[in-house]
Structures are given as structure tokens and as C-alpha cells.
A and B are shown apart, each in its own frame.
Chain A
């Protein structure tokens, strides 16, 4: 499946891109996608973060679908 991944703030600095298209196996969970990203960008491995799928905060076991947009969200500092 093709999944769009968006990186913000400190993560964008680490990855060097604000978004990437990743190829994943046909059944991939949010947690498995995170593993994939960690292998490619080891500096993100232990970073506290939340993940959103199509702008909704997601649980690790949530299944992804073709064309989903996943965002890696560092701890917020708005307000």
C-alpha cells in the first residue's frame, strides 16, 4: 500500500522532509508503520510522539488503508 507520512517540527528537522510516500505491506497497522519509520530514521525511535491517521489521533493497532495520510506528531507546544 502507498501511505503518505507527514513530519512536523523537530521530526521534519530529523527526517529532512515534511512528507514522504512509503510503500507498506497490504495489512499494516499504525504500530507497524512506526516500526518501518524507526528503521529508516533511527533517531526517531525513542521519540515521544502521537500518530494521526487522516487527521484523527490513532491507536497503535489501527489498520491502515491505501492512500491514508499518517502524521507523526511531536508533543504539542501551542497556546
Chain B
């Protein structure tokens, strides 16, 4: 299940979506808005996406995980719009029969999101803003 949403992410629902009887492990990753960043207090972030390309890229990551680890229980929800420190920007859930593959695939998913998905965040500080360029 892959989605891009402008509403707060319902993490419990995402975990329920990937759970299957033959899976002994579910690993989740939550990407949270942090402050300070680069030593400066973050007032808020604005996230935007090239939605027509971002959603297929999330599905592509799911396909890569299926091919590499044989796992189908993968869910990614990425939120867009304005968020403040403490908000959850992305939730990934991966279910697997055993924990080793679940941990590996979940890490892979967040690494690939940062490489592959056309989403950008702008940090807004008290004295200005910047589009974040590093991963």
C-alpha cells in the first residue's frame, strides 16, 4: 500500500495493512520533523511533491523489495504540506516471516525514498528558509 497524503498519517492503520499470519516480524520507520536543524530552530517545514511521479516511484520501491527479499507486505505513507517539529512526515511498515529481512527491507525503503522519490522539503527558520539539499 503506497500513498501520498496531506493529512496526518494513521500509523496503526498502515501496520494493520501489512500484517499477515505467516509474518513473525513487522518493522516500522517513522520520519519525524526535527528541530534544531543545522543549529537553527525550525519553525515549520513545507513538503511538496511531483505527485504524478512520486507515487509510481513509491510503488517501484515496493517492487524492488518484493524482488530482492520476496516480501509483499510493504506500506509507505508520505505526508505533504506544512508540518511542525514532532510531526510525522513518513511511515514505512515492512512485514516478513523473520526479523532480519524486515529490518533490512525497511532500511532499504527509507534509503531509496531519499534517492528516488521527487519530494522536497523547505525548512523555515525565524530568519529565513532553505530548500534542503542533502539526504
- Interface size, chain B (Cβ < 8 Å): 28
Residues in B44-94 with C-beta less than 8 Å from chain A: 47-50, 52-54, 56, 78, 89-90
**Tally of A interface residues using CB under 8 Å:** 17
Chain A residues contacting B113 (CB-CB under 8 Å) are: 78-79
Q: How far apart sit A9 and B49, CA to CA, in the bound complex (Å)?
A: 9
Q: Any chain A CB within 8 A of the CB of B22?
A: no
A26 sits at the interface (CB 8 A): no
A-B CB proximity, top 8 nearest: A78-B119, A9-B120, A77-B132, A55-B53, A79-B113, A10-B131, A79-B114, A78-B117
Instruction: Give Cα A6 to B54, complex, Å.
Output: 14
CB-CB under 8 A for A8 and B110, given A71-B118, A73-B118: no
Asked whether B135 lies within 8 Å of A9 as measured between CB atoms, the reply is no
Q: What residues of A have a CB within 8 angstroms of the CB of B10 in the complex?
A: none
On whether A77 and B119 interact (CB within 8 A), knowing A9-B48, A55-B53, A55-B56, the answer reads yes
Q: With A9-B48, A71-B118 in contact, is A78–B133 under 8 Å at CB?
A: no
